[in-house]
């Protein structure tokens, strides 16, 4: 299992011309209990299964295991997911030595835009582009698994 270390930020808007790559992602959760999630994802006609562990106390790091699976299997497993799906377009933006993943949500989470940057160490520094907003690292309401249960459209 690998350790995923990431920081998460809100954006109020995003200029898609900044992105080097973009792709639509549809994902659902077979399990989204406190401390563990099992996610099924379809991205670029490929399927993935991901298991994530509990975040550390800062919300910066958690164990993650991901494996590509046949698209047909992902489509079948998506039927086991409860609560619908997360639908978003991910834009990858290279800034300095890092790639920011900017997720522009659709459906019940439309209007929410979140940027994440993965790090190799909790104390690693990174360039902060001026389009980054408030940091929400560790705030569970911004976890995709929580957005299934309490979508952004219900917050206001």
Q: Active site residue: 29, 142, 143, 152, which one?
A: 29
Interacting residues of 148 by C-beta distance below 8 A, sequence separation 6+: 28, 29, 32, 83, 84, 85, 86
Beta-carbon contacts of residue 76 (< 8 Å; ≥ 6 apart): none
Q: Does residue 142 have an active-site annotation?
A: no
Residues with active-site annotation = 29
């Amino acid at each position: 299992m690998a350790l995923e270390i990431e920081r998460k930020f809100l954006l109020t808007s995003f200029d898609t011309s900044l992105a080097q790559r973009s792709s639509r992602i549809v994902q659902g959760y077979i399990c989204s209990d406190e401390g563990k999630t099992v996610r099924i994802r379809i991205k670029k006609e490929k399927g993935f299964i991901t298991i994530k562990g509990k975040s550390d106390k800062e919300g910066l790091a958690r164990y993650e295991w991901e494996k590509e699976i046949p698209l047909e299997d992902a489509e079948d497993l998506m039927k086991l997911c409860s609560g619908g799906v997360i639908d978003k377009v991910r834009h990858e933006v290279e800034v300095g030595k890092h790639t920011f993943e900017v997720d522009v949500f659709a459906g019940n989470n439309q209007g929410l835009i979140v940027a994440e940057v993965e790090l190799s160490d909790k104390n690693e520094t990174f360039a902060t582009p001026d389009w980054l907003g408030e940091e929400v690292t560790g705030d569970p309401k911004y976890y995709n698994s929580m957005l299934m249960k309490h979508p952004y459209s219900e917050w206001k």
